């Protein structure tokens, strides 16, 4: 502090955006006023590394626009980007748009997440991920000192039973699919059995519906131990365009090779034999024009199977086949094998097979699926057993990760 004779000058050195130290001064009528003016000048001065793009005084809406621009450059699926944009528009911006970044505290984020969790645990989980990514972006641009999401309470998954199909329900759906639109009073063309066969493959592979619809003859090989499929695509929906085959599945871990139980392999062989050699890259389950069967049409026909099987009102969808397969594998082989088969592989499994991750195919899950779910003389013991806490957690993760969450 320098006394200039009735006025006072406060001085400090400040590292600018270019990394150079420069003097910053402020003059006022009192030492305290000079210090306050100096601090105000430092707050307004762009900090090193930020370039002045964002600051604590920036509006939350400014962060949204910059984050959305960055989102477009990320190597993630268009469906995931659309989910992020929708969540931001419908839920996050209405809650935070009136605040500056410095005003979005951990307490405000905590209150927001708790109100969302009271409506839907899954929604709150997704919004927490979205906010964490956005404030991480702001943190990397030196706009804030810490991510306010990090201090919030962990979200507690509500206790509820995630159900799989019983063996009786599996057989009832099989019978309904086989008899669908086959009576003498049915008008119009007879069904070609595609959806019936899709259900058998869903049951035998525990794939996501989109992954089954994306299978091609070139993804199927015959090994000495039986059929092996390579899951490397999925059928997806996007607003404004027709369903199409995406050349990669939902996550990196979902790109995997699986042994197929014989009852599902027979279905795939029969379908592949009916295709020509020039159709190896066409989807096995395709419509009359050679395009993909849409997820909407699969679900619509499956609902009729459910009704004909007398299982209305239970919320059964094609994804219940995935839960059922997970239950069988978890009880017959183990939770780790079930997670790997489902495409929820841990990093430990990936690291353990890093050199040749695609060369080893575990046939144990296919054996227990064949034993338990084959059409003739299935073994009811695994599905009749009770679920423990670890198994329920696995099934809950299937619901959270597959049915509602965007990919990270």
Listed range (120-124, 141-145, 180-184) with the worst mean pLDDT? 180-184
Instruction: Map out the domains of the chain as residue ranges.
Output: 2-44, 60-140, 167-404
User: pLDDT, tens digit, for every residue of 15-25?
Assistant: 665 567 778 88
Q: Residue 292 pairs with which residues in a beta bridge?
A: 286
State yes or no: pLDDT of 126 exceeds 80. yes
Handedness of CA 216, 221, 227, 233 (dihedral sign): negative
Burial profile 205-231: b = 16 or more Cβ within 10 angstroms, e = fewer: bbbbbbbbbbbbbebbeeeeebbbbbb
What's residue 350's pLDDT?
34
The mean per-residue pLDDT over the stretch 152-177 comes to 88
What are the helix (H) ranges across 53-193?
60-71, 78-87, 93-96, 106-119, 121-140, 167-179
State yes or no: pLDDT of 233 exceeds 60. yes
Q: How far is CA 244 from the centre of its chain?
A: 18
The full 3-state SS of 163-187, as one line of letters, equals CCCCHHHHHHHHHHHHHCCCCCCCC
Please tell me whether residue 10 adopts helix, strand or coil conformation: strand
pTM: 0.71
**What does residue 197 show for φ and ψ, rounded to 5 degrees?**
-70, -35
- Please tell me which residue, 154 or 5, carries the higher pLDDT value: 154
Max mean pLDDT range (162-166, 218-222, 357-361): 218-222
Strand 21-28 with 8-15, pairing:
antiparallel
At 393, is the pLDDT very low, low, confident or very high (cuts 50, 70, 90)?
confident
At 202, is the pLDDT very low, low, confident or very high (cuts 50, 70, 90)?
very high
pLDDT, averaged across the chain: 85
CA-to-CA distance for 229 and 220, rounded, in angstroms?
Answer: 5
Domain 60-140: state its class.
Answer: mainly alpha
The mean per-residue pLDDT over the stretch 254-265 comes to 93
* 21: exposed, middle or buried (Cβ count in 10 Å: 0-12, 13-18, 19+): exposed
Listed range (72-86, 133-147, 309-323) with the worst mean pLDDT? 72-86
Are the C-beta atoms of 199 and 264 separated by less than 8 Å?
no
The mean per-residue pLDDT over the stretch 280-307 comes to 94
The mean per-residue pLDDT over the stretch 157-178 comes to 88
What's residue 21's pLDDT?
77
Angle at 344 (CA atoms; ends 350, 203), nearest 5 degrees: 125
pLDDT > 70: percent of the chain: 88
- CATH superfamily, domain 167-404, is Intergrase catalytic core (1.10.443.10)
The mean per-residue pLDDT over the stretch 169-190 comes to 88
Nearest alpha-carbon partner for 101 in 68, 148, 66, 67: 148
């Amino acid at each position: 502090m320098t006394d200039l004779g009735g006025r006072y000058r406060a001085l400090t050195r400040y590292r600018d955006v270019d990394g150079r130290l420069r003097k910053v001064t402020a003059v006022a009528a009192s030492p305290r006023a000079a210090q306050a003016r100096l601090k105000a000048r430092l707050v307004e001065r762009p900090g090193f590394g930020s370039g002045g793009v964002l600051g604590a005084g920036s509006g939350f809406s400014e962060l949204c626009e910059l984050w959305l621009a960055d989102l477009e450059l990320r190597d993630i699926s268009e469906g995931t980007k659309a989910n992020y944009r929708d969540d931001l528009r419908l839920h996050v911006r209405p809650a935070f748009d009136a605040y500056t970044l410095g005003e979005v505290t951990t307490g405000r984020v905590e209150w927001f997440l708790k109100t969302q969790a009271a409506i839907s645990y899954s929604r709150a989980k997704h919004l927490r991920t979205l906010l964490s990514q956005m404030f991480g972006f702001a943190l990397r641009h030196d706009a804030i000192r810490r991510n306010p999401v990090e201090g919030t309470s962990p979200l507690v998954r509500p206790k509820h039973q995630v159900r799989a199909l019983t063996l009786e329900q599996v057989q009832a759906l099989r019978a309904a699919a086989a008899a669908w639109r086959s009576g003498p009073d049915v008008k119009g063309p007879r069904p070609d059995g595609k959806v019936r066969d899709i259900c058998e493959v869903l049951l035998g592979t525990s794939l996501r519906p989109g992954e089954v619809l994306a299978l091609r003859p070139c993804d199927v090989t015959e090994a000495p131990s039986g059929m092996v499929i390579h899951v490397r695509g999925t059928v997806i929906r996007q607003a404004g365009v027709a369903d199409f085959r995406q050349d990669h599945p939902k996550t990196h871990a979902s790109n995997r090779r699986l042994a197929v139980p014989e009852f599902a392999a027979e279905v795939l062989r029969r379908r592949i034999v009916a295709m020509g050699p020039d159709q190896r890259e066409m989807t096995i389950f395709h419509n009359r024009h050679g395009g993909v069967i849409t997820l909407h049409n699969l679900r619509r026909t499956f609902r009729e199977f459910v009704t004909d099987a007398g299982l209305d009102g239970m919320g059964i969808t094609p994804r219940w086949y995935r839960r059922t397969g997970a239950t069988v594998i978890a009880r017959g082989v183990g939770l780790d094998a079930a997670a790997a088969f489902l495409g929820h592989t841990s990093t430990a499994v990936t690291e353990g097979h890093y050199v040749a991750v695609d060369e080893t195919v575990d046939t144990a899950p296919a054996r227990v699926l064949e034993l338990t779910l084959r059409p003739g003389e299935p073994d009811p013991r695994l599905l009749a057993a009770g679920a423990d806490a670890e198994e329920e957690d696995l099934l809950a993760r299937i619901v959270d990760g597959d049915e509602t969450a965007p990919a990270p």
